[in-house]
Structure 1
Amino acid sequence: MKKILMALSILVSLVGNAYADEKVPVLSTQELVTACKLPASPESRSFCIGYTTAIYDTYLATRHPQRAKPFICVKQPAPKRDEVIGDFVKWVEANPQSVDKPAAGTVLGFLAVRFPCAKQ
């Protein structure tokens, strides 16, 4: 049994090292804007909605309200999703310095500008 565990441990170590050197491509803001521009194919639209929704949902799920003040506050009733995505595309076009940056950070920055929280 010890030999099997040792062999598995070595195998996992080798596989882990192989993946450690692999570069994971990060979606750029320009790539996301290209997918989100209208008119979009059904695939691009689905990707855009899924990606942007996942970013916002991750923000909501990972922000600890007692340790980190919110910086995105969407008032209800919230605007339509397509309106917000269209505003994001326009915002990036007006702020071209963000096109090469990772899309997730740019989306969060846009949402913070578009839906700021009231100062307390």
Structure 2
Amino acid sequence: MQLKHPAPFFLLLALFVTGAAKANVTENDFVAKQTQNLINLCTASPQDPHYRDAIHFCHGYLVGAFHYYQAATADEREVKILCHPEPKPSRNEVIDMFVSWAQQHPEYMNEMPVETEFRFLAEKYPCKKTY
């Protein structure tokens, strides 16, 4: 196959390879109404003008929701839906696993991010039932 005008093809290829074809983070993403918004923030490119804010928001949202869960279930073992393994994985490892998992489950992208976060955590780190 011979291209008559190869310049557009190479321009598209260059954009794809450099990641410039990925959409930038938007102001709407920071509202975090849907899981897709949070995933956009968590996967922001270092070239994105909002990169620093996006990554900090991503980590803050996920860690904050988890800390709330820990506080709410601290004295109530029977209501816990997830239990972390020993040794505990690092925050970055869990966030990376969450992002990867969410990208593999597009059916949850329109859910509230906190719902998707705990769906992932409960699947990944379920508590063992002791009856």
Fold-level similarity (TM above 0.5): yes
Given that 1:35 and 1:44 are in contact with CA atoms closer than 8 Å, whether structure 2 keeps it comes out as: yes
State yes or no: 1:45 paired with 2:55. Answer: yes
| Percent identical residues | 30
Q: Which has the higher contact order (CA 8 A, sep 6+)?
A: 1
Residue 103 of structure 1 corresponds to: 113
CA deviation after TM superposition for structure 1 residue 114, in Å: 1.3
Normalised by the length of structure 2, the TM-score is: 0.65
Given that 1:37 and 1:86 are in contact with CA atoms closer than 8 Å, whether structure 2 keeps it comes out as: no
Higher Rg of the two aligned structures:
1
CA deviation after TM superposition for structure 1 residue 68, in Å: 4.2
Match of 1:29 among 32, 35, 43: 35
CA deviation after TM superposition for structure 1 residue 96, in Å: 0.7
**Where in structure 2 are there 5+ consecutive unaligned residues?**
1-30
Q: How many residues align?
A: 96
**Where in structure 1 are there 5+ consecutive unaligned residues?**
1-24
Normalised by the length of structure 1, the TM-score is: 0.70
State yes or no: 1:86 paired with 2:96. Answer: yes
C-alpha RMSD of the superposition: 2.0
Task: Give the Cα separation in 2 of the matches to 1:66 and 1:56.
Answer: 16
Q: Give deviations 1:40-62, integer Å, cap 9, x for gaps.
A: 52211111110000110111112
Q: Give deviations 1:65-102, integer Å, cap 9, x for gaps.
A: 44842111012321121111111111111111100010
For 1:81, the aligned partner's letter is R
For 1:31, the aligned partner's letter is N
